[in-house]
Structures are given as C-alpha cells and as structure tokens.
Structure 1
Amino acid sequence: MNARFALVILASTLVAGTASADQLADIKAKGVLTCGTLGTSEPFSFPDPQTREITGYDVDFCKAVAKSLGVKLELKPIAVAARIPELQQGRVDVVIANLGWSPERAEQIAFSNQYFASQQKVAALKASGFTAVKDLAGKRVSATKGSSSELAVRKALPTATTVTFQDPPSGFLAMQQGKVDGFVLSELALVKFKQQSEATSPVVILEPSLMLEPWGVGMRKGETALIKHVNSLLESMEKSGEAVQVYDKWMGMGTPYKMPRGFKIEPIKG
C-alpha cells in the first residue's frame, strides 16, 4: 500500500512538473505576456515623443503575440547584451528586440521564423573621406555591446579595433565626436541617425553590407507549444498581409525611411 501511494505521489509530481514546464499554458494562466524589447532603437522600439510610451515595429509584434494569446502585454525594456540572459533566467517570456540569428545564439535559445531581415552596415562622417568599408581596416569602429553589429565588425574588419557601447545612440555619438572612425548598425536605424545629423555632421553609409541578418522572436529552448504558436501567428500575419502593413507603417514609402520590404516571414535558414 505504501509503495502504491509512493508511486501515485511520484506520478503526480511528474505531471505537475510537466505542466509547470509548459510556458504557453503558464502565460495564459497568469494573463500576461512579458515581452523584452530594447526601447532605444527607432523604428523598432522607442519612446513615442508625445506619449513617452514604447512603440515601434518590434512592439507591434509583441502586441500581436499577446493578442493571439488573449492576454495583456507587459513590455520590459532590456539592454542588448541582456537579451539572452533575461530570457534564460525567466525575467521575460519572449524577446522581440532586434535579435539576429547566429549559430552561437541558436545553441542558447530558440528562434522563431524570421519576422525581419536586417542589413548590417557601416556609417562614417562624410568629412572623413571614407568611401568603402575596406577603408576602415585598422581603424576604430563602434558597435553596440553584445550585438550582431559587434560580431559583424570582428568578422568583416578583423584588423579594426572594435569599441563597444551600451546602446546605439552612444556608439553613434562616439563617431560624431571623433572617438571612433565608423559605426555599425542595422541599415534602417543608420538611415534615421543619418537624417538627424545631416545639418550638423553629415554621415555616409558605406558599402558593401557587412551581413544580412535574419531576426527572430527569442524563446527558451524546449518550449515547443509556445514556439509552435508564435510561428503559426507569424505565418498567418504574412498570409493575411498584416505583416506587410506593420512594415509599411514603420519603414515603408510613407515613412522617412522609404525602404521597400525585401524579405518575407519564413523559417530561418541557419
């Protein structure tokens, strides 16, 4: 009898453990999705000048995931270098924060299908005379700490000295002040910085692109139900045209960026 009772207790414990490991069910039970995003990267996630609320392309995808689950959205601003640790330690449920896929990152967390594809490019002051990426060999180049931009510099310009900063504005300011010779970031974000600095310190964006980087929603490994749900949502947004509408809202021809959408939501080809 005691042995049977022990088996019942063990089985109950295993069932409870399985249930607690189902993050999708946990999110629905608590009624809140905590989405980690940067909050400092226009047009992806940044403070609205009027409301001061965090808004942008990434935020709209956070909203879409929460809506699809029927729960409230809690946005949690996180630093670039903290994206994976915050996710692994359970402080956020998902990360939608300019998170580019790489083999190294894919060993640590799960990625959804790509919801954006980013060209990583280098900017330099027009007065510097630099005309191509190769001109920065042996120079000082800034990037955001822990970002794909940092990895791109180290791979594409191995002789350059990579100087890292906590956020994109700090890295760009270092270039404006002459502390570094170039600055690497997503092309769309660079376009915005370029426009803002045109009157004071004109900037050029150098070719070629350092890399084309697919971005995905970051989730913890093993959460198959959540991963499947997010991918299904992204696929439905692509089919319905909602994904295109979100892109056009923030980066299309009616925005200062005026950039055509050169990608579609699809599995990341790693």
Structure 2
Amino acid sequence: MKPLKSCLLALSLLLALPAIHARDLASIQKSGTLQLATEGAFAPFNFFQGTQLSGYEIDVAEAVAKKMGLRIEWKALAFDALISAVRQGRFDAAIASHGYSEERARSVDFTSPHYCSGGQIVARPGGPNSVAALKDKVVVVQLATSYADAVTRLPGLKESKTLPKDTDALSALLAGRADAWVTDKFVAKNAVSKNSDRLQRGEMVFTEKVSFILGKGNPELQNALGKAIDELRADGTLAALGKKWVGEDIATCR
C-alpha cells in the first residue's frame, strides 16, 4: 500500500491538471482549425491509403470544413473509443459512420445525416443470406457498432462474435471462422465487388441515418456542421461524392 502522503500528493497533482472542454464554434473559428476524429479502417468511408486518410467521409468532412472557412486537423482512433473521446472533448467532432440511435443520442449529439445506410448480411456462397437463415449460425460483427447491437437482438443465433475492426470480421468470414458477417450495406457492396467469387450479399437487417457526432450541449457547432451538410446535399456535392466512392447517391434519406 502506498503511503498516505504519496497518495495525497498524487491526488493533488491530478486535480491540478487542466480539464479538457469541447471548444465552441467561436473558439474553433478563431483558431481556423476544426479538430476531427475518424477511425481510418472502414473503407470506402474512412480508411488509410498509405499514410493518407481517404474515403467518402473524409471528402465530406473536407467539403464541410471548406464551407465553414476552416481547415481540418485529423485524428485517428479506434471506433469503440470515439464516443467516449467525443464526450471528453478530446476533439471537436467525429465522422466515422455513426448511425443515429436513441442510446447513442443520450451520450452525444448528431448533425444532419451525410449518408443513409443500414446493416446487411454477407456470407460465403451457399451460406445464410436472410435473417431467418442465421438461426444456429455464427455471425461476426465489429465491436461497439449499431451492427453489433442489431445482431445481439437476433433470435436463435449459435454465437455472435464481436471483433475490434470491421476488417477483422471480414477476415474471419473469409477464413471460415464464421457463417456470416453483418456490416454497412455499402461496405458489403465494396467487399463483395473485390471478392465476387467468395462472398455474396444477403438481406438488410436494419436501416439507419449516419451523421457527424459531437459532445452534448454545443448547439452552435452542431447547427453550423448541419447547415454545411444540408448545403452540400442541396448543391449536389454529396451526391457526386457518393457516386465517386460507392457508385450512387447515398445522401438522400427516404
């Protein structure tokens, strides 16, 4: 056990550390820099090409920042750590394919959606391609995602396995360690196009709207980001970026 004096000293040093607070819009505008986080492992939305972040969401964010007269300082973080880091004010916002849910909305705020999607089943040829066919099957999914939440609610599975990255789940399916994978429908489309002889797409499990996330109680920043997204949707920029990265307009939510 540490001496009481040492414990009190450690506590006093901890309390002396400056608290981290999310910046408001005025502070961001004054700095000229928007601090954004993403995962960097979720093609075609956000991923690294060498050391360069690329993808639909990266292009969307750059267009949003341009609309706001800002430049971006990017940070990459594991997906399951992003919401916690946003709540702690470690950066201004995150764009990493967070679908809206009531549970998430209790922790963070959402902007207007920049794309609409949902969870889709992917399997090897002859494998399960419907929700009903997943009974008694092993399904893999990325940790801390809306896909993981949806899979845990499916009845009759043999097992649901959560893995740190979506690419880990894909690798597990290709290696035969799972019967099916549930992921974003456009990620599924991208994966199947690259493995057309080894994978097939099945039914949608659910649909969702995907947005930037930011800390609670920052309405000026939330509104500014949302306004920029809405303008980019109206002027056709989002549609063009969707066609560039996934071959279709994905920003019109019906």
What TM-score results when the alignment is normalised by the length of structure 2?
0.85
- Structure that is richer in helix per residue: 1
Residue 249 (structure 2) pairs with residue 261 (structure 1): yes
Structure 1 residues 262 and 55, CA gap change in structure 2 (3 angstroms): closer
Task: Confirm or deny: 8 A CA contact 2:22 2:215 kept in the other structure.
Answer: no
The structure with the largest alpha-carbon Rg is: 1
1:264 alignment partner AA: T
Distance 1:104 1:158 in 2: 24
CA RMSD of aligned residues (A): 2.0
Superposed, 1:4-23 pairs within 5 Å as: 23=24
Partner of 1:206: 202
Distance 1:60 1:184 in 2: 25
SS in 2 for 1:119: strand
1:46 alignment partner AA: F
Partner of 2:121: 122
% of aligned pairs identical?
25
Distance 1:107 1:27 in 2: 24
Distance 2:101 2:107 in 1: 10
Partner of 1:180: 178
Gaps of 5+ in 2: 1-20
1:41 alignment partner AA: F
Superposed, 1:1-270 pairs within 5 Å as: 23-48=24-49, 52-128=51-127, 130-157=128-155, 159-199=157-197, 202-207=198-203, 209-252=204-247, 260-261=248-249, 263-264=251-252
Deviation of 1:150 (Å): 0.3
Deviation of 1:71 (Å): 2.5
Q: Which runs of 4+ in 1 moved over 4 A?
A: none
- Structure that is richer in strand per residue: 2
Deviation of 1:100 (Å): 0.5
Q: How many pairs align?
A: 234
Structure 1 residues 222 and 261, CA gap change in structure 2 (3 angstroms): same
Deviation of 1:193 (Å): 1.5
Distance 2:145 2:82 in 1: 10
Task: Confirm or deny: 8 A CA contact 2:22 2:92 kept in the other structure.
Answer: no
